[in-house]
Structure 1
């Protein structure tokens, strides 16, 4: 399908300076400061390697965490990790757009790769503003004259309007990188060509994301059923009149999610036959898993869906021709409470339907279980994919399309 924007294939990049924005934001051990997982670095190595092989002088822009977080740090070790993965030297400069960075870019030769400093060290990168205003920031104004092209491969951050993500499309010929291209093709194809029955499995603790998706896909008729798990299920159970007990109600209240209980009631009133709620749940009693029907829940923390619910959900999943899943079914990091998440993922991987899993914890769990080959598409960006499914425009995609259509 046509994505209405340029890709790497549309430009002759040989001996040209190319700014490429990637998302290699990685888990970092707060005590040692070392990268714990290089999955995202390996992912974006594909685009960077291709640019280098095409003869580009590749200047990499990326971020790591955000100010105030313990893992907010420089990108020096990211450059080392990228060098090891590519088996090609990746130079690093502890500057973003100052004279040190610009001098390093000016000295680059054909095929060289240079990683600039964490773009979020620059205060304007944190501000969410109109893309045109982002193009007027010091970062864009100083770096754009040093380059011939801009490639955006940071799908995981595509829902953010920040200078390094949306600003350069106003100043340089711009294209999507391979990860961006692949993500959007998979997601738009699945959304625009939904094969029924279509099942959504929504869980985790980001209830606002799940409710946005529910509202969109139920109202536009693309979803046949929503299977609820995790905190999403607890909120909908409470909204349906089930007594989830004081402990779990107070947890929801402390999270500031009472408005979502009210929203759940409205959704259940309008689409109650399509929103499937758990029949039983696993609570943590004495650090052990004990299952109860939803009518007989004790005043203990709910940590997973129960066995009967897992069986029922697996039946829906096996009959689906299109599957979208986001968020774990429970506290899957804790022994005995990963059963719901693991069994749901196994059912999705063994289903003959086209399946997409959002980024984050569920994607990590699928990879750890070795199920990635059985899943049609595992997204690198939970927030971006959820926003797409919720019918939201992604600022990065909008500016790429507007650039190609000569609107900017």
Structure 2
């Protein structure tokens, strides 16, 4: 079973006609907190290729929406309806996950049927992060596995999570990568191959994650240069000994485990200073107005909310000779028009360059959508967390288990 072109099985490797398949997708989407209306259906559309390939199978969908305690934590009824609308075929919602009702409906399926099971995060074991072996012993995996011929993972956006629905089933069923999963993995793997200058533009507020990505990329010599923006760049300015002002220092101390992350940034600068770009000027929010100041003249009383104009020009010029560019996280507080300039201009430079460009992460993708540039990127990744995890660790849990499943069932 399977070919040697991948270390994991894909839809092309097996005959799926007349087979009962369990398909893990990721349609976790922004929803109106009152009406529960789905506000963005792009994740639904990303799975259409896989679902069309399964038109002669009996397909059961597993997915989640949000997490317990949040306003958008809800059933999958609206999701089933939205998918049915996109596919122009019935998608039957079942308000059960692995109980008798779900099992009964699965057992009486005909070829071409699609069932959408309930939000798997309604089931408490799904959010536990434990060893792979323990995840296959969960009630979810033990109850559903006997009902299926194959498990298919198409949920790249959740590929970094070692949950039962991601790592449990590949240990009990022959498992395949869906079309979206396969596309995402191949695209990201191509970015770290040694063929040309690869630039990373990192920003946003998740400093800890960004530092992990930097450490991994620089240690493996997989990044030609890393351009820091957002809160990450403020940390690097501070780590370089630049006075970032009282207000910004307090922000770092309160929000990012300052002592620990500062030490990591200092060590990176000591080892890889020639590969790390930091701003030469910043934009401060002076009572609602944008004011660009040199990093040598940052005042105590105002917050930094974007990279400065000179930095935008400098970064843009350097980005032009990249062969591959990966962007994750906005350069500033893009929700405010006056502080969206850095984010928008770096995206514009990237999409107008000759480089193969990838963008990933909810906020920066939203910013790209708002300024009309999203469709000009060569690849828009469906998962920001998975994207960052791919570049910061040895392997995504989902991919690791798909590879182990191929070895087990080939």
Is the TM value for this pair above 0.5?
A: yes
Q: Determine which of 45, 52, 60 is the counterpart of 2:48.
A: 45
Corresponding residue of 1:36: 39
C-alpha separation in 2, matches of 1:369 and 1:3: 37
Check conservation: 1:194, 1:322, Cα contact below 8 A: no
Structure 2 length-normalised TM = 0.96
Number of residues paired by the alignment?
A: 405
C-alpha separation in 2, matches of 1:355 and 1:335: 24
> Is 2:402 the partner of 1:400?
yes
Corresponding residue of 1:106: 107
Corresponding residue of 1:188: 189
Deviation at 1:271, TM superposition (A): 1.2
Structure 1: which 5+ runs fail to align? none
Structure 1 length-normalised TM = 0.96
C-alpha separation in 1, matches of 2:283 and 2:197: 29
C-alpha separation in 2, matches of 1:358 and 1:209: 14
Deviation at 1:244, TM superposition (A): 1.0
Q: Deviations over 1:228-267 (max 9, x none)?
A: 1000000000111111111111111111331211211111
Distance 1:367 1:392, change over 3 A: farther
Aligned with 2:47: secondary structure?
A: helix
C-alpha separation in 1, matches of 2:53 and 2:372: 27
Corresponding residue of 2:221: 221
Check conservation: 1:3, 1:185, Cα contact below 8 A: no
Corresponding residue of 1:19: 22
Check conservation: 1:135, 1:171, Cα contact below 8 A: yes
Aligned with 1:114: secondary structure?
A: strand
Deviation at 1:373, TM superposition (A): 4.2
Aligned with 2:339: secondary structure?
A: coil
Check conservation: 2:307, 2:331, Cα contact below 8 A: yes
C-alpha separation in 2, matches of 1:76 and 1:231: 38
C-alpha separation in 2, matches of 1:364 and 1:68: 24
Check conservation: 1:155, 1:380, Cα contact below 8 A: yes
Check conservation: 1:384, 1:394, Cα contact below 8 A: yes
Corresponding residue of 1:345: 347
Corresponding residue of 1:234: 234
> Is 2:61 the partner of 1:60?
yes
Check conservation: 1:195, 1:322, Cα contact below 8 A: no
Q: Deviations over 1:14-55 (max 9, x none)?
A: 121110000100012223322221111111233123212xx0
Pairing of 1:111-190 with structure 2 (within 5 A): 111-190=112-191
RMSD: 1.5
> Is 2:378 the partner of 1:376?
yes
Aligned with 1:194: secondary structure?
A: coil
C-alpha separation in 2, matches of 1:393 and 1:69: 29
